[in-house]
Amino acid sequence: MVTKLLTIRAQFAIHYSLQKIKNKDFTIISDNCWGGNLYTQLKINYNTPTIGLGMGKHGYLNFIEKLNTPEATTFWQLSADRCYPLNPKRIYPVGKTSLGTVHFLHYKEFDSAIRLFQIRYKKINWDNIFYKIDFELEFYTAEHIQRWNDMKLPNSIAFYSNRVKKIWDGEIHNGVYIDKWEAGSSYIFGNFQDTFNYIEWLNTGRITTSFRYRLLSILLLNPTTPQKTIHLLKSIILKPLRVTRRSKAAVVSI
């Protein structure tokens, strides 16, 4: 019964979002899987090559600046594959361009990763590109933030949290502060979804939020809400039990 209700909620959320999003033929360029996760959540076609991959350090900003050049699509394979950071047992292919290193995190073979990248690259809507960057990722520095500010990209969004506050005390172009940022969840669109009105962002390029939107996101739009709610309830229920067990153990030891 619960599973059925969650399925209905998810289907209605997709229907509602697509009804409200008038600008559906968009391209999201993202430095990790966040953008691809948004496409997946809305169940629409990938109109971007940045699906299932990550770019680090200077590579991503170079990629944005040179997006419409052969340099962005000319790859060679590095000799050593890498381990997926969140799962050391998963090995993924790594590519290199003159712009930087590309980690094909969700692919098994280099050739298939490049083939899909090239296919999706051709689907870019050059007149309707949105850009996302997450400065809280540990390899970004104040130099990258300054460079992002200088680029002044339209239709863009930049996430940051407490780490960035320690290295940067100025404004961030189209910056959105994330109160509880976690490395393992930064690639999931739903984890940032409550912080800004993504429907308004996709329709107009403006970053806005409101109590009404946040409530709508929590109650309907955000697919991570049920899991977060269950986790919260478990912590509330189990915490007194842990305290009781520790108290009993203390009594026995005395």
Range of the domain at 230: 226-254
**Residue 150 and residue 153: Cα distance in Å, rounded?**
9
**pTM assigned to the model:** 0.87
How many domains does the chain fold into?
2
Q: Is the pLDDT of residue 123 over 70?
A: yes
Poorest-confidence range of 14-23, 63-72, 183-192, 218-227? Answer: 183-192
Same domain membership, residue 58 and residue 71: yes
> Are 108 and 157 within one domain?
yes
Average model confidence (pLDDT) for the chain? 88
Whether 85 has a pLDDT exceeding 70, the answer reads no
Q: What value does the mean pLDDT take over residues 171-194?
A: 86
Residue 212 has pLDDT above 70, yes or no: yes
Q: Same structural domain for residues 37 and 145?
A: yes
Q: What is the mean pLDDT of residues 73-101?
A: 83
**Which pLDDT score, from 0 to 100, does residue 233 have?**
58
Band of residue 240 on the pLDDT scale cut at 50, 70, 90 = low
* 15: enclosing H helix or E strand: helix 2-20
- Answer whether residue 117 shows pLDDT above 50: yes
The CA-based diameter of the chain, rounded to the nearest angstrom, is 73
Considering the domain architecture, whether residues 199 and 78 belong to the same structural domain is answered as yes
Residues 83 and 112 in one domain: yes
Which of 88, 93, 97, 90 has its CA nearest to residue 59?
97
Please report which residue ranges of 123-161 form alpha helices under DSSP H: 142-151
The model's confidence at residue 234, banded by pLDDT at 50, 70 and 90, is low
